[in-house]
A and B are shown apart, each in its own frame.
Chain A
Amino acid sequence: MTNSIGEIRNADFLFVIGSNTSEAHPIIAMEMKRAVRRGGTMVVADPRKIWMTTIAEKHLQLNPGSDVWLLNSIAHVICEEGLADEAFIRDNTEGFEQVRETVARYSPEEAEVHTGIPAEDIRWVARKYATTPKAGIYYTLGITEHSHGTDNVYALANLVLMTGHLGKPSAGMNPLRGQNNVQGANDAGATPVFLPGYQRVDDPEAHAKYEKSWGVEFPSEPGLNLNVMMKEVGKSIKGLFVMGEDIVLSEPNCMELEKGLNNSEFMIVQDAFMNETARFADVIFPASVFAEKEGVFTNSERRVQRVRKAVEPPGQAREDWRILIDLANACGAGWTFESAAAVYDEMVKDADKFSGISHARLDAMVSLPKTGLQWPCPTPDHPGTTFLHEEGVLRGKGLFTAVEYRPPAEVPDEDYGLYLSTGRTLYHYNSATQTRRESGLDEKQSEAWIEIHPRDARRRDIKNHDKVRVSTRRGSVEVRALISRQVQPGCIWMPLHFGEARANVVTNDAGDPVTDTAEYKVCAAEVHRIEEGTAPDGLYPGTFYGLDAPV
């Protein structure tokens, strides 16, 4: 995020795209609701009706995968009507001309054909966004989980740069992170390209620094990213160490992965619970949950905050950091860390962005504006950084990147006539290893379902609550059908949390060419009725889900 969470409530214009905020980030949603109560204007772009659309000034219900058309046409209007911030562009950015030329070909009228959004609405949003100083963009996986996810992000960044909505409170570009510590895991260098603090592993200087610090030699060529690694399992990857993730449940196209795991030689799983992946493991380490360990998480706004040990792990389970040290030492590494704080100290020693932060400093802070520290925070007396890009654009000039529309990797056809999207719900969390063990949450949403529009349901002779089979080119799952006008005609939607109806059996693993993030958000699917159903116990997805459903 370029802004902080506390700034959201003061935003005057909020453009929410590809983010089911009230379910995936309820607390961010509360801040947005507050902004709207205060008089702010919200626009939601989402193929599906979501709760946030009920308080939005406009809901741009775009066709799945047509984001680039929408965003480029907004840019088109901004350029055409002279709403771009020419001074900001001249002083702070590069590459605008290329974008201007590209978006000239994306008129709102033509965008209307591709996105299904009235041209007038596109113009209205463009004007409102460009002319409101405190205008922020908020997005999540609905933007990135596409084969053209990177294009979507560039198209958004272009809007931010051409309007100069950057480096000011409540204006900026804010990806909302899905998991508690995505930011922190990347900060810590758990990526094939970056060492801690976003220092490239193939940067000779950074690489040499770490070889010296660690007293070992290691390769400087970047490694495989997750999507590629998973495809290589059983091929070039023969041994895996997996900590705290259920890769079989969460990777797209898991059938292939299971085959790969059967062909690999050795796997360690370190987790607090048995899961689908652990079935393939040769060794399982009993690990801990957050309430049992010391450490830090870094949130979406780059705020480093403490995790504290409240209870002891059960039985012989150990804190993950201790297990990692034990494993390294069993391999002869000779690591001597005695606490999580000591590990943190080593990490920040060679990563300037964090070097002013320590457990001790965090523990000395109790309340806002001092709960946690937002990096960059290079020295012990540095107050942390509330919004990025404060002094002009970080790393020199902001770079425009022209992007062209590319259709999703898979579109509906005769055999698979519907768009399938997957998503999250308020009551569960990812593979739900934790939330499905909560009797209360399970009572609210005890089984998987799909949402299907009444028109599509009628054509397939599907009634509310019927059992149906959802199939794609990769596989099929059986779920309950909820008839709902939340989805548009031609689209179905399914939550991804449920093990017995694994959404990723059917989703497409076609990756984005840059990030290799898989296309979870759109693929072609068909639905067939299996048997009649009655309203089940324990499926209260919320009054909102059955929206307008015929009784």
Chain B
Amino acid sequence: MIERTEHDVQARAAIKSIDIDGHSVAFSAGETILEAAQRAGVEIPTLCHDPRLEPAGACRTCLVEVEGQNRMVPACKTPAADGAKILTETERVDRHRKTLLALYLTDHPRDREVAERGAPNELLDMADRYGAPRNWGTMESKRDARDTDRNPYIHFNADTCIACARCTRYCEEVEGVSAITLAGRGAETTIATADSLSLLDTTCEMCGGCVDVCPTGAMGEKMPLTRSAKPERELKKVRSTCNFCGVGCQLDLNVDEEAEGGNGRVVKVTSPPPGTTTNDGNLCVKGRFAYDFIHHEERITSPLVRNENGDLVETSWDNALRVAADGLRGVAERHGANALGFVSSSRCTVEENYLVQKLSRAVFKTNNVHQCAAT
């Protein structure tokens, strides 16, 4: 799934087809069983899979049967083969899923309140969907949690980690910095930094990708937690465009609608699923974590005008607009329209920029309008 542009899709080798639960699905060279199935709308559960990453085949939730083969195969890692018959809903597959999920749950909190400290937990969702038994005993989780990390954004909850390595693989393969790695063995496998340093002192760029890819919320966001924000599923998601650089990442503002006296509060930012937007589900530190400015106490909340003493004082909108209109008109009358300059902003919307230039040209009759494009 590395290619994305249409050109490359077309350039792929000749179309072949595979049979999945009786649906015949066309696929092209290099595609996996999982990709073909997803296109056909056949659901195969996955935990360690992410289309941005090389398949790891680590979690085994995606095992399916191939007719004529004894062993089940991981759909996320197995290339589709021409004419193969794939079965995803057999009794054997079902038994495998139940067993596997039940085992995962032995050292995983089963209570949503505890397990979902902020983000939805795909493991619990899956256990519900496939009816996995939840009473197979409890093992103490022995993973090291690096609780002392003083970085401001990311916390690691070892109890809910399933060692799927999505986070570490993302950090290496997509962000390219390998700030976190899998460490330890067996039940002690955990997500570590070199010498257990705080992420602040590592190569970490605070992209938050590890948080985004984690299926269980083990890699989680600190700020909503310390602020006891509502869980993510109770928040309203509003799709918007990041306001920092020119890439135009798509992001979802997660809003607590009741907060701020009903004005609503952005309590976290998440990214749309990979493959659906230009940023492919990725964000940088600013897009993902810099949202506190929205509700900052230093926001200007009232129009201000300068009084006789030269101080800026609060006033009504009507008065501010009147003073503003008189001020601009006064300059134009005394010195001509070209004594006015309008500075628009590449931070504002297209519509707002249109209105500023129209204000300048159509209302005040000057072409002295520009924005800080260079900075």
Contact = CB atoms under 8 A, between A and B. Distances in A.
B370 to A, nearest CB: 4
Contacts of A4: 5, 278
A316 B303 CA distance: 8
A265 B331 contact: yes
A308 B324 contact: no
Scoring B296, B317, B352 by chain A CB atoms within 10 A of each residue's CB, the highest score goes to B352
Contacts of A366: 276
Given A25-B245, A434-B290, A543-B201, A320 B367 contact: no
28 contacts: A5-B279, A6-B4, A26-B207, A182-B371, A188-B351, A218-B365, A223-B338, A236-B339, A237-B368, A238-B334, A238-B339, A247-B372, A271-B300, A274-B300, A282-B323, A286-B302, A289-B294, A291-B238, A292-B294, A307-B241, A310-B240, A310-B253, A314-B301, A316-B302, A343-B354, A344-B350, A368-B276, A426-B286
A368 B303 contact: no
A310 B303 contact: no
Interface string A4-46: 1111011000000000001011111010011001100000000
B247 A299 contact: yes
Nearest to A285: B303
Decide if the interface of chain B is mainly helix, strand, loop or mixed: mixed
A243 interface: yes
Interface in A338-357: 340, 343-344, 346-347
A540 to B, nearest CB: 5
Nearest to A287: B300
A245 B284 contact: no
Contact of A238 (B335, B347, B354): B335
Nearest to B302: A316
B83 interface: no
B243 to A, nearest CB: 4
Contact of A224 (B3, B302, B361, B368): B368
A339 B361 CA distance: 21
Contacts of B278: 4-6, 299, 301, 303, 368, 371-372
Contacts of A320: 348-349, 352
Interface in A283-328: 283-287, 289-301, 303-318, 320-321, 324-328
Contacts of B230: none
A296 B369 contact: no
Going nearest first, the 5 A-B pairs with the smallest beta carbon separation are A315-B301, A177-B246, A299-B248, A295-B349, A223-B367
A96 to B, nearest CB: 28
A25 B246 contact: yes
Contact of A440 (B5, B153, B176, B296): B153
Nearest to A357: B350
A82 interface: no
A162 B145 CA distance: 57
Interface stretch (A61-69, A73-81, A85-93, A225-233): A225-233
B205 A308 contact: no
B276 A371 contact: yes
Contact of B240 (A30, A187, A265, A290): A290
Nearest to A268: B324
A496 B315 CA distance: 34
Contacts of B292: 437-440
Nearest to A312: B263
B130 interface: no
A310 to B, nearest CB: 4
B240 A26 contact: no
A223 B369 contact: yes
A150 interface: no
B93 interface: no
Contacts of B134: none
Nearest to A298: B350
B187 interface: no
Interface in B276-334: 276-280, 282-286, 289-296, 298-306, 312, 317, 320-325, 327-332, 334
Nearest to B301: A315
A317 B301 contact: yes
B8 interface: yes
Contact of A266 (B263, B327, B338, B346): B327
A367 B4 CA distance: 13
A305 B294 contact: no
A159 B147 CA distance: 53
A344 B350 CA distance: 8
Nearest to B359: A328
Scoring B337, B341, B361 by chain A CB atoms within 10 A of each residue's CB, the highest score goes to B341
Contact of A434 (B201, B293, B355): B293
Interface string A137-149: 0000100110000
Interface string A171-209: 000001111111111111111110110000100000000
A28 B321 CA distance: 42
Scoring A10, A291, A306, A343 by chain B CB atoms within 10 A of each residue's CB, the highest score goes to A291
Given A250-B372, A311-B266, A300 B246 contact: yes
B265 interface: yes
A169 B242 contact: no
A449 interface: no
Nearest to B296: A437
Contacts of A305: 241, 248, 250
B325 A239 contact: no
Contact of B375 (A180, A195, A287, A430): A430
A409 interface: no
Given A196-B354, A241-B341, A283-B304, 19 more contacts: A25-B245, A26-B285, A144-B374, A184-B346, A185-B373, A229-B368, A239-B327, A241-B359, A244-B347, A283-B324, A290-B349, A292-B294, A296-B349, A297-B349, A299-B247, A299-B248, A309-B238, A315-B302, A438-B292
